[in-house]
Amino acid sequence: MQQLESNSSEPAQGEKRSIDFEKAPRDVQHLLPVPIKELGLKLEGSPIEGYVEQLFKELDAKGLKHFRPAFYLTSEWGCPSEEPVIGVPFYLADRRLGAIESALNDLESEREIMMYMRHEAGHAFNYAYELYNTEEWHELFGPFRRPYRDRYSFVPFSKNYVRHIAGWYAQKHPDEDFAETFAVWLTPGSKWRQKYKNWPAMKKLRYMDRICHEVGDVHPKRPLGETDFTVEDMEETIAEFYKQHSRDESDLVADLALDSDLDDIFAQAAEVPEDRAKKAGAVVMQHRKEIVDKVSYWTGVRRSLVKALVESIAAKADESNLVVDRNRESEHIVELTTYITTLSMNFFVGRRRPTRKMA
């Protein structure tokens, strides 16, 4: 399955994560020991239906009259290879499960859900019309049968690829390049003709625009696809799912000497008038999701690592009794984000060049 690196990433072999399930709202904690297959989750009548309808409206507005991929619930966003069907994370089908996901990770926003849907629709479109078998597709995007790897090298800010999902995702594999190009082309208001003007990636976008117009009134070669792993196959409980599918990054950030750096970014409680002081740890956690989203997007460092780093900083700030001056809060956040970006990039460089370590 071609799967996005989503909130619940598959952990590396041997990794274990201690999950604080007390973070989940009390009124939904009774669901934690329930096997997922026994929750009776359905797409019909769920919050997902509205997003699917929105996607179909976008396809119709672009002239794709007969391409309507089927959706199903599974463990994460994905599209089985060469199968024009789209898998959606099961927790998005029930607001109670969404509350658990939000507490333990970060629930996708409406904007992110549509981004993922457009990306997966790109895969499904490719498979439905079997475009990957054509010579032109190979010339533009590369070999479809190239080995698929979760970890991949990329060139930041390369103009050979569009930008859509975090992590320079179009560079991961030719199939992802196509899906990302489709998503950018499909997104309302993306202004791709202006944004990618004079970029080599424009050749791919023009191809997408042409090929979609050519097949707009043509029925797909493969209108239906087969699912692989559905919510009905998920025998693990909610609690077991999060223990198995969450990545523990704490060891990678545990040895960072944050104390002196955070002293420079924030202030000691005695240095700020009480009526202007806010606990630095609380401020960090208030902006955590936005910082994690943007740092991961622009650096390409996996989201789980950036999240662990931000949470470690918040804990250390509380431990050191550091505060934020309300009158300078925006300055603190800008400096903090720059600091986290620098640490994240140091990790990225260290990952590509093993002789260097994150400092």
135-144: pLDDT as tens digits: 999 999 999 9
Closest CA to 164 of 48, 2, 302, 297: 297
Answer yes or no: is 237 within a domain. no
Q: What is the number of residues in the chain?
A: 359
Higher pLDDT, 4 or 132: 132
Answer yes or no: is 129 within a domain. yes
pLDDT for position 4: 54
pLDDT digits (tens, 9 = 90+) for 171-230: 999 999 999 999 999 999 999 999 999 999 999 999 999 999 999 999 999 999 999 899
Percent of the chain with pLDDT over 90: 73
Answer yes or no: is 105 within a domain. yes
CA–centroid distance for 184 within its chain: 16
pLDDT for position 14: 38
pLDDT for position 358: 30
- How far apart CA 309 and CA 78 sit, in angstroms, is 27
Answer yes or no: is 262 within a domain. yes
pLDDT for position 35: 97
Same domain, 191 and 338: no
Same domain, 125 and 213: yes
CB atoms within 10 A of CB 51: 18
Mean pLDDT (whole number) for 349-358:
39
Q: Which residues form the domain of 181?
A: 2-232
pLDDT for position 11: 37
Answer yes or no: is 269 within a domain. yes
Same domain, 137 and 208: yes
pLDDT for position 357: 28
Residue 274: strand, helix, or coil: helix
- Of 232, 264, 286, the residue at which a domain comes to its end is 232
DSSP readout, 185-216?
HHSTT--HHHHTTT-TTHHHHHHHHHHHHHST
Same domain, 34 and 147: yes
pLDDT digits (tens, 9 = 90+) for 238-251: 999 999 887 777 77
In the predicted structure, residue 341 carries a pLDDT above the cut 90? yes
Same domain, 263 and 218: no
- How far apart CA 323 and CA 276 sit, in angstroms, is 9
Mean pLDDT (whole number) for 63-84:
96
Same domain, 225 and 256: no
pLDDT for position 178: 98
Higher pLDDT, 6 or 341: 341
Higher pLDDT, 88 or 168: 88
Same domain, 145 and 181: yes
Total domains, the chain: 2
pLDDT for position 153: 82
pLDDT for position 292: 93
Q: Which of 84-88, 104-108, 152-156, 320-324 has the lowest mean pLDDT?
A: 152-156
Same domain, 53 and 158: yes
Mean pLDDT across the chain, nearest whole number? 89
pLDDT for position 12: 39
- How far apart CA 4 and CA 9 sit, in angstroms, is 9
**Which residue bears the tokens 């699912």?**
227
pLDDT for position 17: 56
- How far apart CA 73 and CA 90 sit, in angstroms, is 5
Closest CA to 256 of 324, 342, 167: 342
pLDDT for position 299: 87
Percent of the chain with pLDDT over 70: 91
Q: What is the pTM of this model?
A: 0.86
Rounded to whole angstroms, what are the CA distances from 21 to 151, 162, 238, 286?
29, 38, 10, 20
Same domain, 348 and 215: no
Same domain, 276 and 139: no
Same domain, 228 and 265: no
Mean pLDDT (whole number) for 331-351:
84
Answer yes or no: is 77 within a domain. yes
